[in-house]
Structure 1
Amino acid sequence: MSFIIGPDETSNSPRDFSIASNASSTSRDVAAAAAAPPPQQRTFFHSRRIKKGEIERPWLDKKDPREKWVTILPLIGIFLGLVASGLIIYDGVMSVQNHVYCPVYESDFSRPLSDKVWTKDVQVGGFGNGQFEQTTNTDENVFVKDGMLVLKPTLQNEEWMTTNHVLNLTLDGTCTSNSWKDCVAVTNTTNGTVVNPVRSARVTTKGGASIKYGRVEVEAKLPAGDWLWPAIWMMPVKNTYGPWPASGEIDIMESRGNNYSYPQGGNNIISSTLHWGPDSANDGWWHNNKKQEAFHTTYSTGFHTYGLEWSEKYIYSYIDNRLMQVLYTNFDKPFWKKGKFPPADAERTRLIDPWSQTGHFSTPFDQDFYLILNVAVGGSNGWFEDGVKGKPWVDDSPRAKHDFWNAREQWYPTWQESGQMEIRSVKIWQQKGYNGC
């Protein structure tokens, strides 16, 4: 740091001051100011960078012994987290066994559907859910093309919707159900009831490929379109423990065709469920229902493998590989205890445990089940919640199908681009030790 002092301020020579007239003094001052040289530029401050090490740091001279815990505690936490993760992974691996399997059925759909394995359901009953589709066996709704099995929903015959008509599938013997309500539908222009407003497809392996414990994998691309309901699921060959849901149902995958903005989950979410209960009013599905959201995409934009592994000790579903589990249910206690059902139903009739007498914790999932692939539409069981996202019908209304049909200009255009389910392959294996494997 340096200071420079001007020469005028260091001079010690005396100055003469004289008194003169105001005019002459002023003139001399002005002349002197004009003749004087300009003042020298003054610099007051210079800064220099402080060199490293010149600043004292007294806080380094003495360390606080407690500071080491700032490092030790996070390291302990990381170690414990790794140990816990390892135990969880180990427990999961040990709970799933590598079973030996026998192939039951495999197809890449390079050829037409085998009548020995597949059945095309022809029904109007909606499988108990009040669904709006009539399932057919026609090439319009179910066909094999370019190595794909395609299930495609289409509009119903418009004339059947607008004039009195009876759709009776028993007349030509095509109905695949023994129940009258699954085979007959009516359009009555007076009371507003109509036949099923949509035609679609449901195919099953009931007659040709079933398993008791084993593995199933279906590679498929799900449909996109409002109010579509695709599903890959399994039902028991026989109602050994009673009518649905007493004998069980396995939903490997079900979804909705609506887009990602649908509050209940659209084609960006799939769910997997087990249905079981002493009657339809007491279904324990909510004890084991899981959802899986697609990561930054939807299940309608590409193919995924929807799988199931099922043994006498557990059952779980997965997507693409066994590490991507969706639903896992351990058969560790009787299903009657799992359900915690009330002692009686709404009619005060005592509920009877239909499973525990077998002595198997896997009951009712200890019987032969077959595979079902379908694209349902709408329904009146709450799968599509009333009043949400412009739903054009109300579940409890007797005119639900009629109202849905009248709104077709809203929902049918959403089906045009990719409103069908495409299946690339189906593989079914039987666990060794059962069914002759």
Structure 2
Amino acid sequence: MEKLIIIKRTFFMLLLVFGAMSCVEDDYSIGELKNPTSLSVTAEVVGATTEDPYGDGSGAVQFTASADDAMTYKFIYGDGFEEVSHSGRTTHNFNENGVNDYTITVIASGTGGISANTTTTVTVFSDFSDPETKQLLTGGSSKTWYVAAAQPGHLGVGPSAGEGFSSPIWYAAAPFEKAGAPVSSCFYTDELTFSLEGENIVYTYDNMGQTFYNASYGPDFGGSGSEDECLDFSPATSYNVSLSPSSSGLSEEQTVGTVINISGGGFMSYYIGTSSFEILEITPTFMHVRAIMGNDPGLAWYLKFTTSQGEEEPDEFTSIYNDLLWEQDFDTDGPVDTEIWNFETGNGQAGWGNQEQQYYTTENAVIEDGNLVITARAEERDGFNYTSSRITTENNFQFQYGRVEARAKLPEGAGTWPAIWMLGSNFREVGWPESGEIDIMEHVGNQQDVIHGTLHYPGRSGGNADGGSLEVPGVSTDFHIYTMEWSPERIVFLVDDQVVHTYANDPASSFNQEFFLILNVAMGGTFGGEIDPAFEESSMEVDYIRVYQ
């Protein structure tokens, strides 16, 4: 996704450059060198009133600078912090408690580096304090943090405002995704140390000689600008750090509400042209931060850090979805509830596209003894030698992202092919595999006790599907729990909490829309294989199916 964003913007800039070249033939100059003139700056203390002329205690001041022929504005705030703004508009938090005066210098730069400057003074009140975050960040003395490489979404990007602005919905790195070239020499080896010196926080950034740069900043530091890359960079020995209240608009459930501000242009591991990082979550061993990109305020980048260097992907799976959204417990014996489940009958087109041998009916699925029972039988129906049932929640229950959990016992016998699976809600408009398919559980009697978790999508479908398998003894004699967890960052398949397969989701995939559930038992076909001539009947029994978000 990072490359896609850069490619789009680079292509747009190339169009502008090409257009300019076509209008002024053979003119390669940068234009007339102009000195910025009429430079002015205004400062508005946030929350200032007649009763509280120095603000609401947040220490926030909004600055607006303007000048004729200026390209950028550099703000030197007089408290050890500075910032470059292309628009001339910025907000800064002054964090020394009490009422204090600050002299701010603004430097407006024009073409060829010619500049002009001016100063202004502000008086602002600050009483912000977050001792808990200070303690967690520094450990009370000194603590070193590392990029949480094993975590999905340890690097990600999304919109800075509007729908989805609280998460990296456009791109989220899979575990260890950046371990290969051209990033293998940096990023995951970074050491970020926050230390207490009296009441002050000091930050030391050890990048082992190279830093991971966003592609849009690469040319400024000797890079190609074609992709994110590791470039030589020698950070300062140490930086001062202040903590300030968040002004992002995120809720208390989405953020700690505290921003890390690093002096002298310092940053946290991934260079995106900003020195302010909002803490979304922090514990003694984990930190999740969000920052607005310096040259594109429409982008919010996300980083996850841990106190364990070189951590491996955890063996124990922990779900991020724990609120029950929907469930079917099948407690009442009788017919299947057709207000929730749709029956799909017949043999479909070409055996449901898989050369399956069964004819689906409405009679082969019932609720008995607290279980949904779907039975495949050797009996003739409309020219087919087997019957079974297939039920869906299409248009009755559809959802996007969550954890699906089904407790089931599977049929047995060569040729049986039970499945608990999902299709994209746009299936009837775009077809398959464009809609995406998530096979939470598939089993075939010709491979007894082997469970498959699989994804189908353009480029990876049919015999080239994206999946994994796991040997699970007793799937036809005992109930087991089949789980699929689906988020913007990944899709994970499990049996009895043991991971079968993990897929790194991304915004361009088929798996970012609503899906509906399907339960069926097929016979034979391209995956079910040869059917035992002695087969009579066998059933899939489902104790419950639940969806958490």
Using the TM superposition, give the Cα deviation of residue 86 of structure 1 relative to its aligned residue in structure 2, in angstroms. 8.2
CA–CA separation in structure 2 for the residues paired with 1:289 and 1:144 = 31
Q: Structure 1's 105 and 209: CA in aligned 2 closer, same or farther, altered over 3 A?
A: farther
> Which residue of structure 1 aligns with residue 494 of structure 2?
318
Match of 1:149 in 2: 372
Question: Counterparts of 2:328 and 2:464 in 1: how far apart (Å)?
Answer: 32
Whole-angstrom CA distance in 1 between matches of 2:450 and 2:315: 27
Other-structure match for 2:470: 292
**Secondary structure, counterpart of 1:420 in structure 2:** strand
Q: In structure 2, how many angstroms separate the alpha carbons of the residues matched to 1:306 and 1:196?
A: 31
Q: Which has the higher contact order (CA 8 A, sep 6+)?
A: 1
* Residue of structure 2 in register with 1:127 after alignment: 352
- Aligned residue for 1:87, secondary structure, equals coil
Alignment of 1:211-230 (within 5 A): 211-230=399-418
> Out of 483, 498, 510, which is 1:307 matched to?
483
Residues 204-236 of structure 1, C-alpha deviation per residue, up to 9 Å, x if partnerless?
A: 111322111011111100011121111111011
Code of the residue aligned with 2:544 in structure 1: it is: S
Partner residue in 1 for 2:534: 411
Equivalent residues in 2 for 1:168-317, closer than 5 Å: 195-239=383-427, 242-258=430-446, 266-277=447-458, 283=461, 286=464, 288-294=466-472, 297-317=473-493
Change (3 A) 1:229 1:319: same
Question: Which protein has the larger Cα radius of gyration, Structure 1 or Structure 2?
Answer: 1
The code of the aligned residue for 2:445 comes to G
Identify if the C-alpha distance between structure 1 residues 241 and 299 changes in structure 2 by more than 3 Å, giving closer, same or farther. same
Q: Indicate if the aligned counterparts of 1:274 and 1:285 stay in contact, CA closer than 8 A.
A: no
Distance 1:382 1:305, change over 3 A: closer
Change beyond 3 A, Cα 1:421–1:214: same
Q: Quick check: 1:331 aligned with 2:508?
A: no
Query: Are 2:338 and 1:115 aligned?
Result: yes
Contact 2:485 2:491 in 1 (8 A): yes
Q: Helix, strand or coil: the match of 1:220? A: strand
Q: CA deviation at 1:98?
A: 2.1
Aligned-pair CA distance for 1:85: 12
Counterpart of 1:377? Answer: 523
State the partner residue of 2:98.
Answer: none
Could you say if the C-alpha distance between residues 374 and 111 of structure 1 is closer, same or farther in structure 2, counting changes exceeding 3 Å?
Answer: same
Whichever residue aligns with residue 519 of structure 2, its letter is: L
Provide Cα deviations, 1:246-271, integer angstroms capped at 9, x if missing partner.
1110011111123xxxxxxx221011
Name whichever structure is richer in strand by fraction. Answer: 2
The one of 351, 364, 367 equivalent to 2:513 is 367
Question: Any conservation in 2 of the 1:101–1:214 contact (CA below 8 Å)?
Answer: no
1:426 aligns with 2:549: no
Instruction: State the one-letter code of the partner of 2:312.
Output: I
What is the CA–CA distance in structure 2 between the aligned matches of 1:284 and 1:131, rounded to whole Å? 14
The Cα shift of 1:298 comes to 2.6
Query: CA 1:134 to 1:98, structure 2 compared with 1: closer, same or farther past 3 Å?
Result: same
Q: Is contact 2:333-2:369 (8 Å) kept?
A: no
Mapped contact 2:327–2:546 kept (Cα < 8 A): yes
TM-score by length of 2: 0.40
Distance (whole Å) between structure 2 residues aligned to residue 85 and residue 271 of structure 1: 33
Q: 1:155 to 1:311 in 2, by over 3 A?
A: same
The structure where helix makes up a greater share of residues is 1
Residue 312 (structure 2) aligned to one of 85, 88, 92: 88
Check 1:241–1:329 CA distance in 2 against 1; reply closer, same or farther (3 A cut).
Answer: farther
- % identical aligned pairs: 32
After superposition, give the CA deviation of every residue in 1:363-385 in whole Å (9 maximum; x if it has no partner): 21011111111110011x3552x
Q: Which consecutive residues of structure 1, in runs of 5 or more, have no partner in the other structure? A: 1-83, 161-166, 168-194, 259-265, 333-359, 385-390, 393-407, 432-437
SS at match of 2:422: strand
Aligned AA for 2:516? Answer: Y
Residue 284 of structure 1, CA deviation: 7.6
CA RMSD of aligned residues (A): 2.8
Q: Which amino acid aligns with 2:331?
A: F
Cα distance 1:91–1:105, how it changes in 2: closer, same or farther (>3 A)?
A: closer
Q: Which amino acid aligns with 1:88?
A: E
CA change 1:277–1:156 in 2 (3 A) is same
Using the TM superposition, give the Cα deviation of residue 91 of structure 1 relative to its aligned residue in structure 2, in angstroms: 9.3
Q: CA deviation at 1:331?
A: 2.0
- Cα shift at 1:200: 0.5
TM (normalized to structure 1)?
A: 0.50
Q: Is the 8 A contact 2:423 2:436 kept in 1?
A: yes
Q: For each residue in 1:118-152, what CA deviation from the matched residue of structure 2 results, as whole angstroms up to 9, or x when unmatched? A: 112212123211100000001xx111111111111
Aligned equivalents of 1:107, 1:128: Cα separation in 2: 31
Distance in 2 between residues matched to 1:286 and 1:88, nearest whole Å: 29
Secondary structure of the equivalent of 2:384?
Answer: coil
Measure, in 2, the Cα distance between the counterparts of 1:91 and 1:308: 16
Residue 100 of structure 1 deviates from its aligned partner by 5.4
Looking at structure 1, the residues matched to 445 and 315 of structure 2 have their Cα atoms a distance apart, in angstroms, of 36
**Residues 1:285 and 1:100: Cα distance change in structure 2 (over 3 Å):** farther
Which runs of 5 or more structure 2 residues have no equivalent in the other structure? 1-307
CA contact (8 A) 2:424 2:513 kept: yes
CA drift of 1:110 comes to: 2.9
What is the distance in 2 between the residues matched to 1:142 and 1:97?
31
Residue type at the aligned position of 1:330: A
Structure 1 residues 80-132: Cα deviation after superposition (integer angstroms, max 9, x where no partner): xxxx9982145987xx6624535123324334432221112212123211100
Distance of 2:366 and 2:372 partners within structure 1: 6
Q: What is the letter of the counterpart of residue 434 of structure 2?
A: A
- The letter of the residue matching 1:325 is V
Cα separation, 2, equivalents of 1:426 and 1:91: 25
In structure 2, C-alpha distance between the alignment counterparts of 1:383 and 1:114, rounded to whole Å = 28
